[in-house]
Homo-oligomer: A and B are copies of this chain.
Amino acid sequence: MAATGGTTATVVGGSGFAGGELLRLLAGHPGFEVAQATSREYTNKTVGSVHPNLRDLDLRFTPPTDLESVDVLFAAAPHGVAMDHLDEWQAAADTVVDLSADFRLETEAQYSEWYDGHSAPEHLDDAVYALPELSRGDLPGANLIAGGGCNATATILGLLPLQEAGLLDDAHVVVDVKVGSSEGGAGGGPASSHPERSGVVRPYAPTSHRHEAEIEQELGLSVSFTAHAVDMVRGASATCHVFPANGVSGGSEDSSSGVSTGDLWSAYRGTYEHEPFVDVVAGGSGVYRYPEPKAVAGTNGAEVGFELDEDNDRIVAFSAIDNMMKGSAGQAVHAANVALGFEEAAGLDQLGLHPVGSP
């Protein structure tokens, strides 16, 4: 835990999975001191009684109604809570970092279309999207930061270089996502029970996933998005199928103008070469030749990569993250680091594991 005198932080919703990750990251962060972790259900219990990895922390949950004054409040509550409590939270903290969907979209109209409306639309303009790869310039000094959705994050990171390179001008951008069970949170109904959820390849959002709204907002194009539950706990993997207007080099279209593998390397390196948390993984030898969630599990890293399909004039772009980290708590801490002027990687320098099962 940070020394007394550090930047103080509260975690609202500390007993959920994302709340636990925030507590893990803040416990190892050189600049933060955790003041409170709130939980209605587990008030007065130790955080270690819920999160066994945090048994050595000397911290008990407090009720969400008794908020101390702190520097930063991280909120990991279900959708709809943040919009109803933002005023309270802003009274307690200079900076609010919300991991829910409540402030990710820019307009009330989007919330009407994709969610059930919004109870605090006057704050939508204040929010900065957390993903530093998109919003690094806007984060310093922000006092309301909205964490991106995990599937949206994976998709955006996979497609961003293609968008910047002008290769997403076609209407048929297919994003086929595979996610782990932690995305469903600590509760979960019958579909999340171990007997029903083990070993699945289950289409859980064939169409109309709410993250489409976020992806469209950030990338400026509509994607054909489908999400599947697969047998892992952590992880989100996006496979993006893209058909560039001029075809691909060596493909059936005019190859002189088509995109080449070299063009893709340039695009991905151009976007990410200075990013501390994004690796480009495309080909090579061995077992791990393309992005996969196992390789980044437990870390704030993202892997992105690609392959060219000459037969079908297609680019296949891959992106893999740990949904609890880069797709949630890690992204939030990363954004807070940028917002508050810490080193970007402070508290986020965990290396992944090898081998690792279904992390």
Contact = CB atoms under 8 A, between A and B. Distances in A.
Interface of A: 17, 20-21, 24, 27-28, 45, 49-56, 171-172, 174, 176, 178, 180-182, 184, 186-188, 190-203, 206-208, 212, 222-224, 226, 228, 230-235, 237, 239, 241, 243, 279, 281, 284-288, 290-295, 297-299, 307-314, 316, 318, 320, 324, 349-359
B353 A359 contact: yes
A285 B355 CA distance: 28
Given A186-B190, A193-B194, A206-B316, 20 more contacts: A24-B351, A28-B351, A51-B354, A172-B174, A181-B194, A191-B287, A194-B198, A198-B233, A199-B233, A199-B357, A203-B290, A203-B292, A207-B307, A207-B308, A223-B312, A230-B231, A231-B358, A297-B353, A324-B355, A353-B359
B195 A357 contact: yes
B231 A314 contact: no
Nearest 4 CB-CB pairs, A to B?
A: A199-B358, A233-B357, A53-B352, A357-B358
A224 B349 contact: no
Contact of A199 (B56, B184, B285, B359): B359
A357 B307 contact: no
A318 B227 CA distance: 12
Contacts of A27: 351
A167 to B, nearest CB: 15
A235 B287 CA distance: 21
Contacts of A351: 24, 27-28, 53-54
13 contacts: A55-B295, A178-B230, A195-B233, A199-B231, A199-B359, A201-B232, A202-B290, A207-B307, A223-B312, A228-B239, A234-B355, A298-B298, A357-B358
B201 A320 contact: yes
A158 to B, nearest CB: 12
A51 to B, nearest CB: 4
A201 B186 contact: no
